A and B are shown apart, each in its own frame.
Chain A
């Protein structure tokens, strides 16, 4: 069974940085695009970022562009999200997701999420 295990969340102050990790297993990691999707408390789903299978292409929501960086280490089967200049509105549960298959950027597996709280 595919597993996605996020880590790295926590409480930070506005303006600080945080790096999320997602350890993946039980699928051919290098073959799939991966994404981050977040959900603010009591709110809906918001796509954050996607990285292609090779890592050559990355895409970001306007709300995080220039502040967040998605990356992957295909040798470690791990996805990352480097978040900087964090704002209160970045407070959310961050899910690591696996894309269904090319060319579909739909998410067939989700991690359990890691909670990021940005507050002074």
Chain B
């Protein structure tokens, strides 16, 4: 099974900051990676798929990059609604797995 490891586990930030979260796969997954944001008490929301494709309706302050085993999610100019937990997920093969999450907090 492919393991996904995110870092950091949490990050402190302020409104307007640039935040970068990394995700590492235990083996190469090409660009079979997605990023989600989960605000407290709500379902996750797809932000980025195929490592760098912005999901429809998602603000352009979100961007993703990487391929193989190393990936990053960057949020430029952090907004109040971005204080949340972020997850990466691979879809290279079954079983699908998520990273453990990165909490972006004030």
Q: Return the chain B residue nearest A110 by Cβ.
A: B43
Find chain A residues with CB under 8 A from B11 CB: none
- B contact residues around A106 at 8 Å (CB): 34, 46, 49, 89, 91
A22 to B89, CA, bound (A): 22
| Interface pair A62/B43, CB less than 8 Å apart | no
Tell me if B97 counts as interface (CB < 8 A to partner A). yes
A residues near B94, Cβ cutoff 8 Å: 50, 59, 105
Which chain A residues border B89 with CB–CB below 8 Å? 45, 47, 106-107
The tally of residues in A whose CB lies under 8 Å from a CB in B reads 21
> Which one of A44, A61, A95, A107 contacts B95 once the chains associate, using CB atoms below 8 Å?
A61
Q: Which of A44, A47, A95 contacts B43 (CB 8 A)?
A: A95
B44 lies within 8 A of A104 (CB): no
Expressed in whole angstroms, the Cα–Cα distance for A58 and B21 within the complex equals 32
Query: Chain B interface (Cβ within 8 Å of chain A)?
Result: 1, 32, 34, 36, 38, 43-46, 49-50, 55, 87, 89, 91, 94-101
